[in-house]
């Protein structure tokens, strides 16, 4: 049986009760049915880049989605199977002159997981290109085609993080058109900037043994933001709300890059204060211990509760 530490980018997590792999759309539908019939404690897994599994997951059933396929439907409409590698797909799209996701180059994971937290980086979010998706609903057992509106996308959030349980089997995108040269240039610039921050996977670099950002950037009222030091970075959102930099809050709560608790195997990345990393021998418990410590320090210093971005499973 496969240990989940070998299937996740932060490389922690124990051995589940059951593990299934879906290679085709038909297999995905059949195995999902089997999964749900046999267990209430289940999860679907893509690239494992936004999950922290507990050390003990002995009652969990896991369905690993490895379905592949890119279908050009014409006029910038493209249907992609859920298990397709996201960052490979971004480069494929840039080569084709399909515009709208070039700034999301280098983000690990799969196409099917991208809508779940509405992945975003460098001013782009996947939600602006998602036209519709196929969803197998856990509650009803039905296959549904959800429109962009049905997904209720917002900052690192969607209906799928708000309790709508099930499986995204494919995603249909609507892209704009731009020269492939300029899209590839943009994508490569982004990849370079991300690499410098340890935000592109590299098995040799422990700073990338992470889930990327461990906390979302807090969104608070302007009134509350005025109580913070003037140098705290702030970006205006709508309705008198502002977004703060979680990385700034962590560093100014006294936790510098590379910080660790005692001799724990979990540290803050040496390149980015927002990433919690595994130096090779961390347990899930150590990852969460550091996360809780960061939350406490930021709360004590600024009165802000940092919210974890990855999905914490089995704790």
Ligand X SMILES: Cc1cc2nc3c(=O)[nH]c(=O)nc-3n(C[C@H](O)[C@H](O)[C@H](O)COP(=O)(O)OP(=O)(O)OC[C@H]3O[C@@H](n4cnc5c(N)ncnc54)[C@H](O)[C@@H]3O)c2cc1C
Please say which residue, 61 or 302, places its beta carbon nearer to ligand X.
Answer: 61
Residues numbered 224-283 forming contacts with ligand X, rule: CB under 6 A:
none
Task: Count how many Cα atoms sit within 13 Å of the Cα of residue 16 in the half-sphere of its side chain.
Answer: 24
Phi and psi for 98 in degrees, rounded to 5?
A: -90, 115
The conformation of residue 217, written as its DSSP 8-state character, comes to P
Binding of ligand X by 132 (CB under 6 A): no
Nearest CA to 111 out of 54, 38, 47 is that of: 47
Residues numbered 158-217 forming contacts with ligand X, rule: CB under 6 A:
167-168, 199, 201, 208, 210-212
- CA dist 15 and 245 (Å) reads 35
- CA dist 314 and 135 (Å) reads 24
Binding of ligand X by 63 (CB under 6 A): no
| Residue window 78-107: x/- pattern of binding to ligand X, with contact defined by CB under 6 A | ----x------------------------x
Point out the catalytic residue in the list 156, 260, 270, 299: 156
Please say which residue, 75 or 162, places its beta carbon nearer to ligand X.
Answer: 162
Q: Which of 5, 32, 49, 284 binds ligand X (CB under 6 A)?
A: 49
Structure tokens at 150: 């049905």
Phi-psi region at 58: left, alpha or beta (left = phi > 0; alpha = psi -120 to 50): alpha
213 tagged catalytic: yes
Structure tokens at 298: 């930021």
Binding of ligand X by 22 (CB under 6 A): no
Residues that bind ligand X (CB under 6 A): 9, 43-51, 65, 82, 107-110, 112-114, 116-117, 119-121, 167-168, 199, 201, 208, 210-212, 311
* Residues classed as catalytic: 156, 213, 309
């Amino acid at each position: 049986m496969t240990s989940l530490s070998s299937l996740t980018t932060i490389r922690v997590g124990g051995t589940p009760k059951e593990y299934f792999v879906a290679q085709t759309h038909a297999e995905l539908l059949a195995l999902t049915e089997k999964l749900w019939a046999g267990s209430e404690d289940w999860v679907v897994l893509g690239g494992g880049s936004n999950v922290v599994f507990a050390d003990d997951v002995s009652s969990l059933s896991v369905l690993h989605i490895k379905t592949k396929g890119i279908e050009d439907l014409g006029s910038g409409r493209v249907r992609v199977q859920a298990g397709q590698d996201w960052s490979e797909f971004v480069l494929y799209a840039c080569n084709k002159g399909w515009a709208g996701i070039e700034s999301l180059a280098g983000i690990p994971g799969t196409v099917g997981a991208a809508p779940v937290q509405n992945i975003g980086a460098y001013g782009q979010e996947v939600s602006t290109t998602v036209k519709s998706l196929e969803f197998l609903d856990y509650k009803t057992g039905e296959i549904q085609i959800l429109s962009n509106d049905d997904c209720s996308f917002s900052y690192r959030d969607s209906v799928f993080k708000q309790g709508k349980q099930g499986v995204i089997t494919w995603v249909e995108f609507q892209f704009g058109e731009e020269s492939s040269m300029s899209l590839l240039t943009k994508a490569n610039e982004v990849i370079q900037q991300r690499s410098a921050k340890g935000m592109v996977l590299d098995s040799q670099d422990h700073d990338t043994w992470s889930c990327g950002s461990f906390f979302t950037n807090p969104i608070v009222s302007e009134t509350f933001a005025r109580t913070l030091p003037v140098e705290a970075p702030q970006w205006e959102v709508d309705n008198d709300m502002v977004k703060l930099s979680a990385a700034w809050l962590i560093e100014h709560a006294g936790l510098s890059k590379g910080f660790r608790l005692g001799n724990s195997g979990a540290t803050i990345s040496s390149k980015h204060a927002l990433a919690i990393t595994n130096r090779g021998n961390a347990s899930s418990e150590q990852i969460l211990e550091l996360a809780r410590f960061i939350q406490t320090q930021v709360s004590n210093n600024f009165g802000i509760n940092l919210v974890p971005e990855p999905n914490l499973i089995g704790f």
